[in-house]
A and B are shown apart, each in its own frame.
Chain A
Amino acid sequence: MAGIAEDGEEAVIMFKSFSDKPKVILMDHRMPEKTGIEATKEILQIDKKVKIIFVSADISIKEEANSIGAFGFWDKPFINEHLVDEVERALECYNSA
């Protein structure tokens, strides 16, 4: 199962609506309505297990993302294969928890 949200607000709404919660989320930061950091805080309050990987061109929020419980932070531009590896690692972590 996979989904795409247009912005942080939609991401939180979608997350809440899924009965089967997603295991990994690729989260941008600078989005309309709600930022990635705000959305991450809300989502992690709902489900602490979900692995949120930040994918953002805004490197200034890296420390904050890590401090609020993000699984990882990837700044743009990145190589797709590396991100795929990171997603697989996140899934492994989720399943072993």
Chain B
Amino acid sequence: MVTEIRKIKNSINIGIGLIALFIIYLTSVYSYLLFHTIAELFSITIAFSIFIIGWNSRKYMDNSYFLFLGIAYLFIGLIDLIHTLGYTGMGVFLGYETNLPAQLWIAARYLEAISLLVAILLINKKFGYKYLFLLYSIIFTLIIMAIFYWKIFPTCFIEGEGLTLFKIYSEYLIDLILFINIILIIRSRIKFEKLIYYYIIISIISTICAEMAFTLYISAYGFSNLVGHLFKIISFYYIYKAIIKTGLKDPYNLIFRDLKLREAELLRYHTQLENLVEVRTIKLKKSEEKYREAYNRAEFYKDLFAHDINNILQIVMSGMQACQIELDNPDEIKENIKVIKAQVIRGANLVSNIRKLSQLEESEIPLNRTEIFNILKHSIDYIRRTFQDKEVKINIDSISKKLYIRSNELIRDVFENILINAIKHNKSSNPEINVRISKEQIESISYLKMEFQDNGVGIKDTRKVKIFQRGYGKNNSVYGMGLGLSLVKKIIENYNGEIWIEDRVTGDHSKGSNIVLLIPEVE
């Protein structure tokens, strides 16, 4: 909708412009001098206005382009004013024919074309505007002196013959300079607000067309002269739109464009910075979390180690003190040495478990397809040798003697910890463990179910879950000693399995426990 209204407005503006041009053209029918005077006064007014806006905005504009043009157009306008006053038929400068306005025209157009070129080349540079004003004053004075006083300015028009070669070639040269101008402006387009950029381009193109027309006229009142002036009106109209209209209606686009650009750039940097800060904050938080976890883990192991080793040392100390007391009793000494030996093994296991648990928590040990029935058998043999003084009975009832899961060397720790636990907490004189292995299908995944049933003291319901915990958060569990079952749980979870405890006889924990493992099977 807005675009439609804009299109209509533009069309109306173009229509009004064409009507205005036509009306101005009609004045030429009545009096060419009137037409010329109106056309030139239009452009002179715009030239002086450019100076006023450029001059008064010099403090706010970093972009030197408009200030430069402002100063240049003041003097271009002055030359055009003298050209208007000196035009054939005005009768202001007596003794001068058509050559005078032609010379002044060429001088103004050279000054205009070169000024536009220098302005775009100096677009990023700062300059002393007072020096520029002085320079243009000198150039203006030299031009006027060359034409009026020294009379050394090249002839541009010969009565009866028309335009001189100097005039014609000058117009071509001016066109070339203007063409280069267009290219340079296109290359610097980022410096201009979009509409201003297009207006300036159109203005220069119109000037080129005007100059081309001015290479063809024979008479000061001729048709090509008329056409040239109409193009000049169009050229200055677009300069008016680019600089004056924008400067009055939307000064920020003209004066503060640099500021706007910088503001936009600043906003972009600010957004980038915020994003960067956010990313870094997330990274920092993750690092903090990891550090906190590592710290807590270190504290936990330190505490655990200190506590459990001290307990082991106490039993060793007591055993040694008992030996000292019972030096004459070899049997007692033997018993105490056994106790000491068992504690040393316990300590070694503790260190080993801590190491493995720590390794599991820091990084994963790779899993491979493993046959575990034989590993279970070796573990059972090891346990029997370890507990030779107890008549431990361990039976295996398995669905198959080839059982495959994805695991690693720690599967042995699983079996040995479960078996040791079952024997340690068994007050019976004939500890018995039945290992039952079956398969289960749960949601299209095949699992091996391994049940370790013992006739030990059992585990109360309140401890069935807590027995696996030995955490290092705020609520350190204080149940039991060592890490055996915590390690087992961690390893099984690593295998994507589960572990839980049931009563061997449902509802009666005192009849022993049933530790159940559920591990995904592989072919």
Expressed in whole angstroms, the minimum distance between the Cβ of B480 and any Cβ of chain A is 6
Q: Do B314 and A78 touch across chains, with their CB atoms under 8 A apart? A: yes
Question: When each residue 396-434 of chain B gets 1 if its CB lies under 8 Å from chain A and 0 otherwise, what string results?
Answer: 000000000000000000000000000000000000000
Contact B310 A80 (CB under 8 A): no
Docked Cα-Cα span, A31 to B321, in Å, equals 25
Q: Is the CB of A76 within 8 A of B310?
A: yes
Q: How many A-B residue pairs have CB under 8 A?
A: 39
B313–A77 touching, CB < 8 Å: yes
Tell me, in angstroms, the Cα distance from A59 to B460 when the chains sit together.
Answer: 28
B283 to chain A, nearest CB (A): 34
State whether B306 touches A57 (Cβ < 8 A). Answer: yes
- Does the CB pair A77–B479 fall under 8 Å? no
B345 at the interface (CB under 8 A from A): no
Number of A residues with CB within 8 Å of any CB on chain B: 16
Tell whether, in the assembled complex, residue B307 and residue A30 are in contact, meaning their CB atoms are under 8 Å apart: yes
Report yes or no: A31 in contact with B314, Cβ–Cβ below 8 A: no
Contact of A77 with B481 in the complex, beta carbons under 8 Å: no
Q: In the complex, what residues of B have CB within 8 A of residue A35's CB?
A: 478
Known: A57-B306, A57-B307. A80 touches B480 (CB 8 A): no
Instruction: Let me know if A75 is at the binding interface, CB within 8 A.
Output: yes
Q: Which residues of B contact A29 (CB under 8 A)?
A: 478
Chain B interfacial residues counted at CB < 8 A:
20
Within 8 Å of chain B (Cβ to Cβ): is A92? no
The answer to whether A77 and B463 touch (CB under 8 A), given A30-B478, A30-B481, A32-B479, is no
A75 to B310, CA, bound (A): 8
B258 proximal to A (CB < 8 A): no
CA distance A57 to B460 in the complex (A): 25
B309-341 vs A, Cβ < 8 Å mask (1 yes, 0 no): 111011011100100000000000000000000
B292 to chain A, nearest CB (A): 20
Q: Of residues B311, B316, B478, which shows the largest number of chain A Cβ atoms within 10 Å of its Cβ?
A: B478
Select which of A30, A33, A57, A79 is within 8 A of B321 by beta carbon.
Answer: A79
Chain B residues whose C-beta falls within 8 Å of the C-beta of A47 in the assembled complex = none
Task: Report if B62 contacts A (CB, 8 A).
Answer: no
Chain A residues with Cβ below 8 Å from B371 are none
Q: List 8 A-B contacts (CB under 8 A).
A: A31-B478, A32-B480, A33-B463, A59-B306, A76-B313, A77-B310, A80-B317, A80-B321
Which 4 residue pairs of A and B lie closest in terms of their CB atoms, listed nearest first? A57-B310, A76-B314, A77-B313, A77-B314
